Amino acid sequence: MKNRKAFSLSLEQRVLWVRADGVWNERTANDYVQEFRQLVQPILTEPWAVVLDIRHWQLSTAQVFSVLKDNTRWCFEHNLHHVETIYADNAVVMWQFVKATEVSNRPANLISQLATNETAARSVLQAAGFLTD
């Protein structure tokens, strides 16, 4: 029996919407990065944003950290300017998220903030010009 996919990705204008679900292993993280990078290819020439919904992400193996950190570095090198994180009400998952995205090449102009839900994230990204009505 095949498990439900551990993530979903959708591109809307200059915003990649990410939903992380369940427990990830190294293979899941690699599949995620491959799909992620393929999906954002059309928008890399200009500033773009990502919404990371981690409300249903669960504790994952330590091997995912290096894969996700590498993707974070890649994003910063390819015009990611804004991150909205729809956060989990779980201190351990939030710690895991920080460990998986903490890199040294964070751009000085990067906006990274927490959102309570999709509507809040959408409003901020509309005001910032990444989404139009």
- Taken in order 71, 72, 76, 77, the sign of the CA dihedral is negative
Q: What is the pLDDT of residues 57-73, one digit of tens each?
A: 987 888 899 999 999 99
- Enter the DSSP assignment of 105: T
Q: Is residue 25 scored above 80 in pLDDT? A: yes
Range 7-127: architecture per CATH: 2-Layer Sandwich (3.30)
**What integer best gives the mean pLDDT of the chain?**
92
Which helix (H) or strand (E) is 34 found in, with range? helix 26-40
The arithmetic mean of pLDDT across residues 11-25, rounded, is: 95
The values of phi and psi at residue 60, to 5°, are: -125, 170
Of 2-6, 44-48, 97-101, which range is least confident? 2-6
Residue 1, pLDDT > 50, answer no
Half-sphere exposure of 2 (CA within 13 A, CB side): 3
What residues does each domain of the chain span? Answer: 7-127
Q: What is the pTM of this model?
A: 0.92
- Which pLDDT score is estimated for 92? 84
Lowest mean pLDDT among 9-13, 52-56, 91-95, 124-128: 91-95
